[in-house]
Amino acid sequence: MNEQKSAPKQPQFHPGSRAGRSALLGRASRKESRPLRSVAGILALLMSAWVGGCATFQPVQPREAAAGAQVRVHLTTEGRIFLEEQGGRPQSSVEGLIEEVRDERILLRIPWARRQDGLRGEALQQQFWFEPRYIQGIELRQPDRRRAGLAMAGAGVAVAIAVGVVFGRLVDRVGCPGITDGPLQGC
């Protein structure tokens, strides 16, 4: 007759398990968070397209290129050999920043190598004098407002979708206090 009522058993989870952390912190299950991950992926894709695709390259004469301009230089065979001899990989064109223009020669700073420090990578740059015989053509990098506008509109739509998904999840969890009748009854 000395029966003691025991407390209901709490589920036991391994301390480092994802299920344990989610249960302890009241987080949504993996299945519930998939729409948010999809929205985050869409946002990341749109932002990378925005950063990388909002400029075009317009051909210019080598004498029109000025210091401080971002350019793409198309190399002759001699120019390709020059870069390979300097330790670079074979490539038909390079993109970089014009540091100086002197006597039809161009001092160009280009990404040369990549140093990885943990998860953070850093582009190492090198400067080279390109003589006219190394240059087949030059294209000047110019902003493209149309692409930037489309990317911004796409990012805005993605943000609106994300806000809608988050708000929908919040309404599902909390409910709609104060609404007792009408088409939204019970949310």
Confidence grade of residue 153 (pLDDT, cut at 50, 70, 90): confident
Sequence letter at residue 112: W
Residue 76 near residue 134 (C-beta atoms within 8 A):
yes
Q: How high is the mean pLDDT of the chain?
A: 74
Taking the C-alpha atoms of residue 179 and residue 172, their distance in angstroms, rounded to an integer, is 14
Residues 6 or more apart in contact with residue 187 via CB below 8 angstroms: 171, 172, 175, 176, 179
Residue 117 has pLDDT above 90, yes or no: no
Residue 113, pLDDT score: 80
pLDDT in tens, 52-65: 557 788 898 878 88
Residue 2 has pLDDT above 80, yes or no: no
pLDDT in tens, 11-56: 555 555 555 545 545 554 455 555 556 666 666 666 665 555 577 8
Confidence grade of residue 161 (pLDDT, cut at 50, 70, 90): confident
Confidence grade of residue 96 (pLDDT, cut at 50, 70, 90): very high
Residue 79 near residue 177 (C-beta atoms within 8 A):
no
Residue 150, pLDDT score: 72
Which is higher by pLDDT, 123 or 86?
A: 86
Taking the C-alpha atoms of residue 91 and residue 83, their distance in angstroms, rounded to an integer, is 8
Taking the C-alpha atoms of residue 130 and residue 111, their distance in angstroms, rounded to an integer, is 15
Q: Which helix or strand (DSSP H or E) is residue 112 part of?
A: strand 105-117
In degrees, to the nearest 5, what angle opens at C-alpha 56 toward C-alphas 147 and 95?
Answer: 135
- Please tell me the total number of residues recorded for the chain in this structure: 187
pTM: 0.51
Residue 147 has pLDDT above 60, yes or no: yes
Identify any residues that bridge with 116 across adjacent strands, giving them in sequence order.
Answer: 121
Query: Left if phi > 0, otherwise alpha if psi is -120 to 50, otherwise beta: which for 168?
Result: alpha
Domain boundaries, the chain: 29-49+146-173, 56-143
